[in-house]
Amino acid sequence: MRKCNKSLNFDLIRTMRYIFFISVLLFFTGCKVTNEQFPIEPRLTFKSFSRDVVGDMDTVTIIAEFTDGDGDIGIPVGATPRNDTVCVTPEARILTNPGFNFFYKDLRDSCTLFAATEYYQPDKGKESIRGEVVIRLGAFCKKVCGTPGCADTAQFELTLRDRAGHLSNKVLTSKLVITGCQ
């Protein structure tokens, strides 16, 4: 008959406990959520249009994603987000207007249009933010031609400005097909 070595069993149990605690520690260390950090200048990425083809009276939404290191995107609280369809050239004049912070240049005629986005605020304890800007557009056929049934494509250059005045990168949208203009 074999005798069990109590010392060997004790060492084996201690080693297994040690491995278990190290595994748990590594697991929780790997799950640590880090605070995202971005540059203080906004960074813009075109995500999509709500549709790829628009007709005479259709509207379309531009969806762009942004990041900002100091979390100061949007118009002040209490102000109403809005779009203005006034074409402004030169572009430099509108980029400094404090009432607007999202700019989209129609590349068909280099006309810069502008909007004021909602107020974005970082989560408690964080400075950096990530989010989406959603702008609704319409009346595309005004710039196409005078013949019924005309078609065109539109592409926009997007820019975002934060409350400190930092301008984002300029990003191009995909092409939007405009059909059936009256």
pLDDT digits (tens, 9 = 90+) for 78-115: 665 555 555 555 555 556 666 788 989 889 888 888 88
Given a contact cutoff of 8 angstroms between Cβ atoms, the answer to whether 110 and 79 are in contact is no
* Structural domain includes residue 9: no
> Coil, helix or strand for 15?
helix
Write out the residue range of the structural domain in which residue 103 sits.
Answer: 43-181
* Structural domain includes residue 4: no
Which token pair is 45? 């990425």
Structural domain count of the chain: 1
List phi, psi (to 5°) of 131. Answer: -170, -170
Q: Where are the alpha helices (DSSP H) in the chain?
A: 6-30, 91-95
The least confident of 4-18, 39-53, 121-135, 138-152 is 4-18
Which token pair is 78? 């209490």
What pLDDT, in 10s, does the model give residues 28-62? 555 444 567 899 999 999 999 999 998 877 888 99
CATH label of the domain that carries residue 171:
2.60.40
The amino acid that residue 51 corresponds to is: R
* Structural domain includes residue 54: yes
* Structural domain includes residue 10: no
What is the per-residue pLDDT for 52? 92
pTM above 0.75, yes or no: no
> Coil, helix or strand for 64?
strand
* Structural domain includes residue 22: no
* Structural domain includes residue 35: no
* Structural domain includes residue 162: yes
Kindly tell me the sign of the dihedral angle through the C-alpha atoms of 13, 16, 22, 24.
negative
Which token pair is 20? 């278990």
CA distances from 22 to 13, 16, 19, 70, 92 (A): 14, 10, 5, 37, 59
Within 13 Å, how many C-alpha atoms sit on residue 144's CB side?
A: 23
* Structural domain includes residue 29: no
